[in-house]
Amino acid sequence: MRPMVNAAPSAARLSPPNGVLGANFNGDPKIMTWAGLEQAEATWVRGFAAMPDFDEGDKEDSNSHLAVDTLLGAVNRDYGAVLSLKFPYFPKKNEPIPRPGTEEMKKDLARVDAVLTKVMGEVDLLVIGNEPFIECPEDDRTNGAINDFYEAVAQHVIDYRTKKFPDGCKTVLYMGALNYLDDPKWIHSGTERWMKYVRETPEIEGTDIHPHVNKPDGAQVYLDYILPRLGDKKFLATEFSLVHLWGDHLEEKIPAAYAQKYKVPADTEVWQVIRNALDEAFPKERWYDFLRESPWFEGNKHYLSEQMAKFRATEKLAVATYGIGQDAAMSENEFTEKSTPWLLNSIYASATVRPEPNGHAAPNYAWLEDFKRAQTS
């Protein structure tokens, strides 16, 4: 099955998405620019919005409100748009996930309604949940609470869409997203029920997955789990990367050629170079030399296009999206050997590389060209 060609933004919405690659800003739309999307030849955009930011009376200046507004702006520019609804009950709030019928559940549904009034019929894909099994307490993952909650939210969204758009609606619904399926302890009664609900609920188009892995073929375990359980449904991969492979190399010595060229002590470790780039952004060629001379990165610089080929080969992929930029969460805290190096994934490198002469964020090494290559390959 040939993927839809991302020739121009207007092409993104002519038919249901099939094997599309888009850009993901997660929860920080400020890292994305229309010029950057155009340079990357992207035609789809994805972000998430945290539901607690939509309480009545709250100021509409949060990243979550901006995420919704940005996606609506993308729609107006003829980009395809994917919005994930995030319910961060853990670890940020460290609270049990609400039970249907409770006052807390009613509050969440009111928050959902505040978003639905803006996006239903506008965005192309609405994903119910961001990373549900991470964003709830451990006990609630297997005691039925997480499934009760997200099934109740899904039914509420389905009912809203049916009532407001009785003649049909462009916004289709997915459940999302499953994490850590490469770890057996994250596959259990909760994930089984999740997939059963996806498979058996006509109004749900499929599930999302977030395969952040430590080896080039690491996402295969995710596919092996979901594909037999999808039935005739499809899947999204709104986040995917080799971030854990990068993390495995943070405490290695830097490449000798890099150390010699830039007069850096030979015993400097990878994480220290990244920290130095965050403290004072590097010239582009220095950052490129660092990654180009690192075998663990250079040998995987086509991961994005290679993984997209694997997703598309299933003939079940609707949309995958890849990180567009280095957001504040990647750089605002002191970077150490224990940090998760998300910033190595990004298409643009606003935090570790000096801006281009025109003021735009410089492309991160490798990913911009691989992203463009992956549009049609």
Q: What is the pLDDT of residue 95?
A: 78
Cβ proximity of 38 and 22 under 8 Å = no
Q: What is the pLDDT of residue 216?
A: 98
The domain spans of the chain are: 9-244+302-325
Helix (H/G/I), strand (E/B), else coil: 125 = strand
Structure token pair of residue 289: 């030399």
Q: What is the pLDDT of residue 1?
A: 26
Surface-to-core class of residue 160, CB atoms within 10 Å of its CB (0-12 exposed, 13-18 middle, 19+ buried): middle
What torsion, rounded to 10 degrees, do the Cα atoms 166, 172, 175, 179 define?
-170
Per-residue pLDDT tens for 30-70? Answer: 999 999 999 999 999 999 999 999 997 666 778 999 999 99
**Separation CA 125–CA 122 (nearest Å):** 9
Q: What is the pLDDT of residue 59?
A: 65
Is CATH 3.20.20.80 what the domain over 9-244+302-325 is classified as, yes or no? Answer: yes
**Separation CA 224–CA 244 (nearest Å):** 20
pLDDT > 90: percent of the chain: 89
Which parts of the chain register pLDDT below 50? Answer: 1-8, 10-12
Q: What is the pLDDT of residue 8?
A: 46
Q: What is the pLDDT of residue 2?
A: 26
Give me the sign of the Cα torsion angle 332, 337, 342, 348: positive
pTM for the structure as a whole: 0.94
What angle, 0 to 180 degrees and rounded to 10, lies between the N-to-C axes of helices 145-164 and 189-200? 20
Per-residue pLDDT tens for 131-153? Answer: 999 999 999 999 999 999 999 99
**Separation CA 107–CA 56 (nearest Å):** 10
Q: What is the pLDDT of residue 12?
A: 46
Helix (H/G/I), strand (E/B), else coil: 193 = helix
